[in-house]
């Protein structure tokens, strides 16, 4: 319901996607078919699959885990309505999948062979469980070419990644930093590509225009900051929350959307302070409505790929306050207005020392007390977002696929 309602609201606006070659049979393999509950990776897979279908490609979506709600996932149902087929290997959980991955690989091989029906197909795998099962399903099968989309930071699955990497035909990394990381971690340079994630930028902007018109009377007099994502170690929210709490007398609110294992710790840090609110999980439309009228998005992450929420914030023209990590530096480390020891100000937002709460304190205060920066940053953010349209992304994917099919 979340994503389906959202895309029914904004529509899809990207132009017909052109690429060299005929249409391709594509099997997209994911950990499970509940894409709407799979965070940023699930959102990107949904965007990518819709774009494949818009480009008249033949598509099968395959999940490994069945948690009992696959048939009700609105993202998956929307893709089926558009013409995709969907299959599930029906293992109960990730632990069982890892224990029985060879049996699952054999089951997947049968599904892929039936789908291929004598043709060559692309098996595009996302995340390491899917990569493990998909890779072993393709061994000694010339019709199936596995192409992995690398979403960064697979430290928990390093061994299985080392096993699968040499067997995968090509690797598509979701950002330049993910590309550098992949080469460094797995020692592979050939047939590795950097293709940034993308979203429907024009549709998001149309949504933003309508939301801003509706929200003109709703804008807060206080500066509003938002963090969105799983409350986990990766998101590093204790440092930004602590920094915000150290700002005395600041006319600002900090809203945090999401749930996760760090919730109790964050509640303890916040205590009785009313200027920070944990909002829990919100429907996607509501999140985007809030970001459309927010003053700044805050991402103090320890690591990231190129997140879909980050791209949505760009399309909505919302400046960003980001941790000074390689993924963010490579995308945004241009057009600096000034540089300091604690944070750097750029036309699109801020890069802040990652684990320094005082740095976050000074960055919050600097932005909240400099209203002239807001319009300037908004315009620059809109310019940057043009590079990350899903039409560009899927055209580059299809070029890679065609090279494999035609090779």
223 and 133 housed in the same domain: no
Q: What are phi and psi of 227, to 5 degrees?
A: -120, 140
Q: Give me the residue label for tokens 């791209």.
A: 311
Using alpha carbons, list the distances in angstroms from residue 257 to 79, 104, 226, 292, 384. Answer: 27, 36, 8, 14, 25
344 and 224 housed in the same domain: yes
What is the predicted pLDDT for the residue at 153? 60
396 and 344 housed in the same domain: no
Domain count within the chain: 2
Q: Give me the residue label for tokens 């807060």.
A: 220
151 and 216 housed in the same domain: no
What domain range includes position 261?
Answer: 201-387
What is the predicted pLDDT for the residue at 57? 95
CATH code for the domain of 272: 3.40.50.2000
Pairwise CA distance, residues 266 & 100, whole Å: 37
Nearest to 399, CA basis, from 24, 121, 12:
24
Dihedral (CA of 231, 227, 299, 385) sign: positive
58 and 194 housed in the same domain: yes
293 and 256 housed in the same domain: yes
What is the predicted pLDDT for the residue at 216? 54
Nearest to 167, CA basis, from 137, 143, 127, 210:
137
140 and 256 housed in the same domain: no
Instruction: Write out the two tokens for 196.
Output: 């940034």
Instruction: Write out the two tokens for 42.
Output: 């699930």
Q: Give me the residue label for tokens 């596995």.
A: 146
Pairwise CA distance, residues 310 & 299, whole Å: 9
23: three-class secondary structure by DSSP: coil
How many Å is the Cα radius of gyration of the chain?
21
User: Residue-wise pLDDT tens for the chain (407 aa)?
Assistant: 333 333 333 344 444 444 445 689 999 999 989 898 887 888 899 999 999 999 999 999 999 987 765 567 889 999 999 999 999 998 878 788 878 889 999 999 999 999 999 999 999 999 888 999 999 999 999 999 999 999 876 555 667 777 888 889 999 999 888 898 889 888 888 999 999 999 888 888 777 677 666 555 555 678 999 999 989 999 999 999 999 999 988 999 999 999 999 999 999 999 999 999 999 999 888 888 899 889 999 999 998 877 888 888 888 889 999 999 887 886 665 555 566 778 988 878 899 999 999 999 999 999 999 878 877 787 778 777 777 889 999 999 999 999 999 86
25: three-class secondary structure by DSSP: strand
218 and 183 housed in the same domain: no
232 and 194 housed in the same domain: no
Pairwise CA distance, residues 351 & 246, whole Å: 19
147 and 296 housed in the same domain: no
Give the chain's count of helices (H) and strands (E).
17, 15
Pairwise CA distance, residues 338 & 346, whole Å: 7
37 and 77 housed in the same domain: yes
Contact by Cβ (8 Å): 64, 30? yes
364 and 305 housed in the same domain: yes
Q: Which residues of 46-56 are buried (b: 16+ CB within 10 A; e: fewer)?
A: bbbbbbbbbbe
Q: Give me the residue label for tokens 């990730």.
A: 94
What is the predicted pLDDT for the residue at 50? 94
């Amino acid at each position: 319901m979340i994503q389906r309602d959202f895309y029914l609201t904004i529509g899809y606006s990207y132009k017909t996607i052109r690429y060299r070659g005929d249409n391709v049979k594509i099997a997209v393999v994911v950990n499970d078919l509940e894409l709407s509950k799979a965070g940023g990776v699930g959102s990107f897979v949904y965007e990518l699959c819709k774009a494949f279908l818009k480009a008249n490609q033949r598509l099968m979506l395959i999940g490994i885990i069945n948690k009992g709600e696959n048939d009700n996932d609105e993202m998956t149902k929307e893709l089926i309505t558009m013409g995709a087929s969907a299959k599930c290997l029906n293992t109960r959980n990730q632990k069982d999948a890892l224990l029985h991955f060879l049996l699952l690989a054999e089951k997947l091989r049968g599904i892929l062979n039936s789908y291929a029906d004598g043709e060559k197909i692309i098996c595009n795998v996302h995340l390491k469980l899917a990569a493990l099962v998909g890779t072993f399903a393709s061994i000694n099968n010339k019709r199936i070419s596995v192409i992995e989309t690398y979403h960064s930071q697979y430290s928990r699955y390093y061994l299985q990644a080392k096993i699968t990497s040499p067997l995968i035909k090509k690797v598509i990394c979701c950002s330049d930093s993910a590309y550098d990381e992949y080469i460094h971690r797995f020692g592979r340079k050939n047939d590795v590509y950097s293709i940034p994630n993308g979203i429907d930028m024009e549709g998001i902007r149309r949504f933003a225009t309508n939301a801003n018109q509706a929200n003109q009377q709703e804008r807060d007099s206080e500066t509003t900051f938002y963090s969105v994502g799983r409350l986990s170690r990766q998101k590093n929210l204790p440092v930004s929350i602590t920094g915000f709490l150290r700002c005395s007398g600041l006319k600002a609110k900090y809203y945090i959307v999401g749930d996760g294992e760090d919730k109790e710790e964050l509640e303890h840090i916040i205590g009785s302070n009313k200027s920070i609110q944990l909002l829990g999980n919100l429907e996607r439309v509501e999140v985007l409505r809030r970001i459309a009228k927010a003053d700044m998005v805050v991402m103090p992450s320890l690591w990231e790929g190129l997140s879909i929420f980050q791209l949505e914030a760009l399309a909505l023209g919302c400046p960003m306050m980001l941790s000074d990590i390689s993924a963010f530096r490579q995308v945004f480390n241009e057009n600096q207005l000034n540089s300091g020891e604690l944070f750097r100000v750029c036309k699109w937002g801020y890069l802040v020392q990652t684990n320094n709460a005082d740095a976050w304190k000074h960055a919050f205060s600097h932005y909240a007390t400099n209203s002239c920066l807001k319009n300037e940053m908004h315009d620059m953010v809109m310019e940057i977002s043009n590079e990350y349209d899903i039409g560009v992304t899927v055209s580059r994917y299809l070029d890679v696929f065609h090279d494999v099919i035609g090779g």
